[in-house]
Structure 1
Amino acid sequence: MKLTAPVHVLKGKAKALKRAQSLTMTEALDQIARAEGFSSWSLLQSKVKNFTPQTTEELLDYLHPGDLLLIGARPGLGKTTLALQLVLQAIKEGRQCFFFSLEYSKTALIEKLSTLDRQFEPDHPLLKLDMSDEISSDYIVKQTKDWLTEGSLVAVDYLQLLDQNRNKPPLQQQIEELKIYARAKKCILVFISQIDRRFDEDGQAIPTIKDVRLPNPLDMGLFNKSVFVKNGQIYI
């Protein structure tokens, strides 16, 4: 389902319309909804809530401010590529994006981004690539807090490396802190994650949240959305 703008942007337009035309907020929201092809704002919200993306292009529409998304796949099956596609799409929509990686070099990421989008600008003002060894919840907050706006996207590559060094807080603590932060800043946090090797041995059709590799304890309920990649397809 493609809207002309993300829901939070449409709400902002409704607020401006309310002031400009002396409408109630309900009237303004309904007017915005009709412009999007829906009879009312409540119907638009219902469609958005029940929307299931079928392609990577639709995935960004599935995400809302405050979401924590987990992208899982076995090695080499496209989880980082999917995260980078989300970043590129978010940039095109004018959103501030961050990509924190404990796995790739900056050169390698730029090469992947350039392959995905020939128009990609390595020094794009809306994208910040960070490969510091210090990446953790505290570090991510420190590096992003002055830049984020509603709907900004922050990707972390990858989940299982966040507490690999013993001097960093436990993974559970870090994700709890980042969940609070995402809600406060109304940004979207995307975590790339490995899938346990036993998934292949079990012969399952697609991985699930239960197949995420967890060397350290973590409540997976902290992620309110998840998507898995297999054979070039995404599964919600």
Structure 2
Amino acid sequence: MKLSAPIFQLKRRAKLMARDTKLPLHDALDQIAREEGFARWSALSSHMAAGSLSRTILSRLDDGDLLLLASRRGHGKTTLGIQLLLDAVRAGRQAVFFTLELTEAQARKQIQSLDEGTPRVSDTIDVVTSDGICADYVVHHLAGMKRGTLAVIDYLQLLDQQRSKPALAEQLTVLKAFADRTGVVLGFISQIDRAFDHEDRRLPDIRDIRLPNLVDLGIFSKACFLHDGEAQLQNVA
């Protein structure tokens, strides 16, 4: 989705609106974001940051990495995950999007909205929306794909939501072994616990990952945390 003006001009427009209408600046920013087709300013800024951030992340991923992409709802984690897939395809890599959150139509629409390059590559991303997505399903689907293939799973906390599926810790052990063996890179979109307080810390970190069940997060090799258009990539293991 292209903006009607560069982001610095939109910020200036919001500041003028806040001054002229006596609105708080954050309300003016959100109003400008809605005019651009976003729910709020944080979503707009996350969308704009995702492009350059995803290329940076992709350049730092090693074969077999397990990557966390984590934020609160609406702060850009899914956008970043999809942008990573688009950049992976442009770099000549296979890309798969497993989602337990979106329908295929919703996923395709979001992927296409971010595909602003030429030629368009969004249709080459493999989108999987089966309710059966779990570690064994992912391993079976990715079997035989090349080293460096990137798969993004949407999202971590849904993998063991059904009682018929193994515990999340068991699934991650299976997926880690698969990634180590094949060189496939696995990214996991993840929720942040509601207890995260932006007033105390600018960005969430590994301590803020929402975990209904006990999981050793040291199994991940890298993590990227996002909030209000800012992001930080860090090594975990």
Same fold (TM over 0.5): yes
Between stretches 196-205 and 75-84, larger displacement belongs to 196-205
- Per-residue CA deviations over 1:57-98 (Å, capped at 9, x if unaligned) read 211001010100000000011000000010000000111111
Q: CA separation in 1, counterparts of 2:194 and 2:130?
A: 28
CA positional deviation for 1:232: 1.6
Q: 1:165 to 1:202 in 2, by over 3 A?
A: farther
- Per-residue CA deviations over 1:170-225 (Å, capped at 9, x if unaligned) read 00000011001001111100000000001037632110000000001100000011
Q: Which residue of 2 aligns with 1:29?
A: none
Tell me if structure 1 keeps the 8 A contact 2:69–2:187: yes
Q: CA separation in 2, counterparts of 1:94 and 1:179?
A: 23
Q: Which residue of 2 aligns with 1:213?
A: 210
Q: Which residue of 1 aligns with 2:150?
A: 153
Matched, 1:223 2:220: yes
Identity among equivalent positions (%) equals 42
Q: Which of these residues, 185, 197, 201, is aligned with residue 200 of structure 1?
A: 197
Matched, 1:164 2:164: no
Q: Which residue of 1 aligns with 2:71?
A: 73
Aligned residues: 180
Letter in 2 for 1:221: G
Q: Which residue of 2 aligns with 1:10?
A: none
Tell me if structure 2 keeps the 8 A contact 1:70–1:191: yes
Q: Which residue of 2 aligns with 1:183?
A: 180
For residue 123 of structure 2, give the secondary structure of its aligned residue in structure 1. coil
Q: Which residue of 1 aligns with 2:91?
A: 93
Unaligned runs of 5+ in 1: 1-53
Tell me if structure 2 keeps the 8 A contact 1:60–1:90: yes
For residue 197 of structure 2, give the secondary structure of its aligned residue in structure 1. helix
Tell me if structure 1 keeps the 8 A contact 2:89–2:121: no
* Aligned pairs (5 A) from 1:125-164: 127-146=125-144, 148-164=145-161
Q: Which residue of 2 aligns with 1:120?
A: 120
Tell me if structure 1 keeps the 8 A contact 2:71–2:204: yes
Letter in 2 for 1:179: K
After TM superposition, the score normalised by the length of structure 2 is 0.73
For residue 113 of structure 2, give the secondary structure of its aligned residue in structure 1. helix
Superposed CA RMSD in Å reads: 1.4
For residue 197 of structure 1, give the secondary structure of its aligned residue in structure 2. coil
Tell me if structure 1 keeps the 8 A contact 2:86–2:122: no
* Aligned pairs (5 A) from 1:3-22: none
Q: 1:120 to 1:104 in 2, by over 3 A?
A: farther
Q: CA separation in 1, counterparts of 2:213 and 2:221?
A: 20
CA positional deviation for 1:123: 3.5
Tell me if structure 2 keeps the 8 A contact 1:56–1:234: no
Letter in 1 for 2:85: V
Q: CA separation in 1, counterparts of 2:65 and 2:210?
A: 21
